[in-house]
Structure 1
């Protein structure tokens, strides 16, 4: 694949995850959602930092400390390692395409 919009999944009964690059130092992932959210107890607690951008659609991230951040097309956020978070909402009437980059924390 040479275009992030290629090979979009036709079945979105669950979120679709696709590694675009996976090396020992960095992983780049395309995530496609449609009305999905994380399970109620489904907090992500990752060993890596995550930089995520919404390429299409919109989604809301909830953080364990009570923050909520809504990302629309073009918005991005850096999530430090072990900053527990989950997806609380993605748009149900169209797809949300996320670009997530995972890398070792600095320091």
Structure 2
């Protein structure tokens, strides 16, 4: 499900089961992240699926990338793997006006 920046951030902050997932590359990750994020690079293909399969499917995943396309794809993959709640950050971190920190 695509959420606007405000909805995505507010919901993540109020959600005790929230996991913020960055699906960008390591180089992109190293330029700055949304606080609290974990990184699993969707470009790793099968490696992405293996790592995602190790996550707790009962948590709620707030997923982002640079512009929103890869994170939307990641949400679809995760939903197909049995994750119930995945939320895509519309516009990605490139349009993000919230906090950014260094990993």
Query: Scaled by the length of structure 2, what TM-score is found?
Result: 0.32
Give the strand-richer structure, 1 or 2: 1
Give the helix-richer structure, 1 or 2: 2
Query: Scaled by the length of structure 1, what TM-score is found?
Result: 0.32
